[in-house]
Amino acid sequence: MEQVTKQDIREVLMKLNVIQNDMGYIKEYLVDISMNDDDIIAIEKYEKEKRDGKLLSQKELEKELEI
């Protein structure tokens, strides 16, 4: 099994940042009407965990990994 290096993590985080920016742009023009009750519950749970500070932000992860 390969060792994951800080450089590997840094590259993944950079790619995730690009994807996140792209998704933000796409969301501006996309309306999803196919969400079911489970989707809505999952989103509400995520939003509550985010408000309660239970999620680790990208910046916090980078700091923790010293990158």
pLDDT of residue 32: 66
**How many CB atoms within 10 Å of residue 62?**
14
Report residue 28: phi and psi, to 5°.
-60, -25
pLDDT recorded at residue 44: 93
Average pLDDT over residues 44-49: 92
5 versus 58: which is more confidently predicted?
5
Please state the rounded mean pLDDT for residues 20-36. Answer: 82
Say if CB 9 and CB 58 are below 8 A apart. Answer: no
Question: CA dist 43 to 2, 11, 13, 47, 66, Å?
Answer: 34, 28, 23, 6, 30
pLDDT value of residue 33: 73
Residues of the chain above pLDDT 70, percent: 97
The mean pLDDT value for 17-35 works out to 84
Q: For residues 13, 9, 50 and 21, what is the CA-based torsion angle, rounded to 10 degrees?
A: 10
